[in-house]
A and B are shown apart, each in its own frame.
Chain A
């Protein structure tokens, strides 16, 4: 069964025709071509698909596309402005907070949400805050440093 879904993605209104069982992440990747949001698991553990749903981080593999009707969605593609990296993205680059890059979009989206809740996060708050995002490359050490530096650059 095909249904129509209307939402705003990275500030642009979009309408898509999807099967009812379509997940939000499938809508983003397959219908809208926003392939920066990744799928790393099928049990909502890894966090590679993290996006912002009305300003809050969610795992987009855990929602149906139709649940996003009328919502404001921000993906990793909507974080940089006019080609300039967001301070959080810059912090990941400067602190070598990524290696293969596959978990990185989800990690950045989680980090941004974390900083919103904890403008000056401690190391423990960061470690707990990104616990829902797996990274197999970095050992998290530099991700923690990146989030701390990013939070500082954002004015925390």
Chain B
């Protein structure tokens, strides 16, 4: 690994055990549902049992008589109070400059319900049980309507309309790239590989169900919202400006300990606004906590692409052009960042690690009577990688070129960075050959043929699959994303505050919900300022304490949030040099800062950073005209580019042809994350990501029936990876430091989930290739694998 040698065993590069673990290990964490406020009431949402229906009379009279029920709100109350709908944060402009269709998304259904789980009424009661009893006692007249239950059926002629004013259920029809050039290249190519695939819909399934607790204090006219969110300031902004129309300064949003997010807790959800609004209406705090079955029908889901693609190659296997047509499911409403996922987070990644000169992608985003879809770990990038790595593997098989060799012929050479792709983004740095070589070595790729023979002797089919992924982290810069429709800035904020006695509190706009920021950020601060790690506290997740920040998503925290902290520390050091110059009676230009000490160069005059801090708060002899007291600096950082982690994953599987069961025999992951602050935490991120990727490849699938009922609506029905599904891994890093941030870091949160699904599926297809199986869609469950084997062998199936 190329991380710097740690100065201390707690500094940058040290595999330091996490500082935040104590509270989680002893049951002392504070997740939203653990918080209770005096006088608190409980909310239960009545949700639609139908995928599509007109709402007739909603009779709440009986429900209001249930003992303990305090109030019931419906869409009529939302309308009466003129509350806004949930906004979409990214406007995508389609072909010919067409604006995307952005139908309203009311907090509680008005007139119609559009998916199973669409909220209709909120019952508020003294206890959760009373609120549930109240919800059961509400009588609703539904007039059921035909539903469009899948992404493939949404565009069909005569399909039901999810929104009456959205013809053809089409949200947008978007394109990127030079279609004519791509068509021309395909027309004269020596070989064209075609592939149709489905990137199935998934349920993110953070283990902590979403929760929200709203409280209103009449005396100060202040609201507090506790919510299981990845970005409390974004929630405050959206909720205040678009939904509740209350001034931001009247609202504090706290995202305390959050039990996993994976994207699904980025978005502004109806329940957050509802409990905040209701807390004023009923004059008491209101708490809502999802039950898991509610999470399944109310948390934004992920992926859901149906894609056709063509890859043109010359006779030697050099990629000439890639053409992609994708239909992307949005669900019934546009969730906060749903629209950018299958466009700017997808098509921009279609060059992958390769020099493909011409790429064209068109994406039709469609509505259906299903739960909204939005970013889920990787968000667009796993879909791009899956498509690319599947079609390359298929091309290798068709052209009878070793798949590692075909990739090698097309990799961006290490001496060609910065590299401008044909799909907008420019990669700053990388060394793709290095991780390919390392993965080949570590996985003993050359020994595969023998292992395949060994497996065969056991009656198993063995396959090997490769995946070379690229990621784009820290969506940036604001000016660029703004020019393509982002309705937000994508900077990050930090404040680094010394106390008079030399301890340090860091306030970060990033949010940790498992990533270990309280450790990683402290390691950075300890190294840069020379302060012992136990004297550093990281504060996040509370708009009442932190500067306006954008939160955590898209593997951005160390690259963007970490850099904001570094920028604030740079300002502190500059201020410290001024103070030291005053204290040591030296010229500011002669003061240098090293290892926590301000020194006058060439002398033995020195002041520790702790002494500087103390003097800054006890400025008895400061020249106040030129030197300000205090030792506390803030910075906002807007990156100049994405960062581009990359890697090579190699998976080997054994398939039992009698049962279709796929077992992962080995998994090798070699990643380039730039400099690494805490290798133990980074490995943990990769392991978790790969587990979700293996889940997608082999187990997980969000299934609706033709009427739009969610078939996989509980942990009894939705396949979650368990401990015995997960193999042992081989890991390595081949890091090239990022060139445009001071830490040289890239981000690692999503890589595992991006790189692993194609590695697994390519391995399954390699195992099944001798039987004539050429395609299988995820998840490659035993029944699907078995069916694929049978249909490739009709004669055998008939026996």
Contacts and interface: CB of A to CB of B under 8 A. Distances in A.
B79 interface: no
A106 to B, nearest CB: 9
Contacts of A108: 25
Nearest to A86: B25
B689 interface: yes
A141 B726 contact: yes
B96 interface: no
A138 B470 CA distance: 22
Interface in B694-736: 714-716, 720-724, 726, 728-729
B683 to A, nearest CB: 8
Contact of A103 (B207, B209, B262, B691): B207
A71 B22 CA distance: 28
A41 B29 contact: no
A76 B516 CA distance: 21
A136 B21 contact: no
B292 A42 contact: yes
Interface residues of B, number: 56
Contacts of B720: 45, 134, 136
Nearest to B258: A100
Given A41-B714, A93-B17, A36 B208 contact: no
A143 B725 CA distance: 13
Contacts of B259: 38, 40, 100-103
A43 interface: yes
B696 to A, nearest CB: 13
A136 B715 contact: no
Contact of A93 (B25, B257, B684, B716): B25
Given A99-B516, A101-B259, A76 B26 contact: yes
B292 A101 contact: no
A45 B712 CA distance: 14
Given A42-B291, A103-B207, A141-B687, A136 B728 contact: no
A100 B513 contact: yes
B478 to A, nearest CB: 29
A42 B714 contact: yes
Contacts of A94: 17
Interface residues of A, number: 55
A40 B209 contact: yes
A127 interface: yes
Most chain-A CB neighbours within 10 Å: which of B20, B129, B208?
B208
A48 to B, nearest CB: 6
B714 A96 contact: no
A19 B129 contact: yes
A129 to B, nearest CB: 8
A144 B27 CA distance: 20
Nearest to A106: B207
A76 B724 contact: no
Contacts of A102: 29, 31, 206-208, 259-260
Contact of B27 (A43, A77, A123, A134): A77
A21 B515 CA distance: 38
Contact of A46 (B514, B715, B726, B752): B715
Nearest to A129: B723
Given A43-B716, A46-B292, A127-B723, A101 B29 contact: yes
A45 B26 CA distance: 22
B207 A131 contact: no
A59 B176 CA distance: 51
A137 to B, nearest CB: 5
B680 interface: yes
A98 interface: yes
A134 B722 contact: yes
A34 B25 contact: no
A140 B514 contact: no
Most buried by B among A94, A104, A136: A136
A27 to B, nearest CB: 13
Given A39-B33, A43-B714, A127-B724, A100 B292 contact: no
B31 to A, nearest CB: 7
A137 B17 contact: no
B690 interface: yes
Contacts of A130: 723
Contacts of B18: 93, 96, 98
Contacts of B293: 42-43
B681 A96 contact: yes
B136 to A, nearest CB: 13
A80 to B, nearest CB: 5
Contacts of B716: 43, 45
Interface of B: 17-18, 20-31, 33-34, 129, 205-209, 257-260, 262, 291-293, 513-516, 680-681, 683-684, 687-692, 714-716, 720-724, 726, 728-729, 752
6 contacts: A35-B31, A35-B33, A85-B22, A98-B18, A101-B29, A131-B723
Given A135-B207, A140-B721, 9 more contacts: A29-B34, A43-B714, A93-B18, A98-B18, A105-B27, A131-B724, A137-B688, A139-B691, A139-B721
